[in-house]
Amino acid sequence: MNLLDAASLPLENQRFNMPNLPSAKGLSTTKIDKGSDLYKACEDFQSIFIKQMLDTMRKTVDKSGGMVEQNQGEKVFEDMLYDEYSKKMSKSAGFDLADNIYRQMTYLQNLPKAAI
């Protein structure tokens, strides 16, 4: 089979058929209950995601040119500081990850059991 033959295959290939799931058209209009336990868990996940992002960014900073070597206590403090940064950023920086996860989770919770 050459490349042109592969391009003419139908998109509904039998190997990749998804089960019949209900439409997700109303997903973006789902009302977000920011006081619910689910939303708090979504915010916590968003905070962990931001913390991982900040840790990766922090590893790219070259600290070898400093006058004093960083000790263990300073490393622990800096890690705790970045934990707090991520929590604050999660609540106030305009990340919509928690909102989107909440919408997706409430959508999945309301699916009929046979569809999952």
Question: What does the pLDDT average to over 35-50?
Answer: 94
Predicted local confidence at residue 19, as pLDDT: 54
- Which distant-in-sequence residues (6+ apart) come within 8 Å of 106 by Cβ? 30, 38
Residue 81 domain-assigned (yes or no)? yes
Residue 39 domain-assigned (yes or no)? yes
Predicted local confidence at residue 14, as pLDDT: 46
**What is d(CA 23, CA 25) in angstroms, rounded to the nearest whole number?**
6
Residue 2 domain-assigned (yes or no)? no
Residue 104 domain-assigned (yes or no)? yes
Residue 8 domain-assigned (yes or no)? no
Q: How many structural domains compose the chain?
A: 1
Residue 64 domain-assigned (yes or no)? no
Residue 11 domain-assigned (yes or no)? no
The answer to whether the predicted template modeling score (pTM) of the entire model surpasses 0.85 is no
Residue 41 domain-assigned (yes or no)? yes
Residue pLDDT, tens place only, 66-110: 777 788 998 899 999 999 999 999 888 788 899 999 998 988 887
Range of the domain at 49: 34-58+73-110
**DSSP letter, residue 14:** G
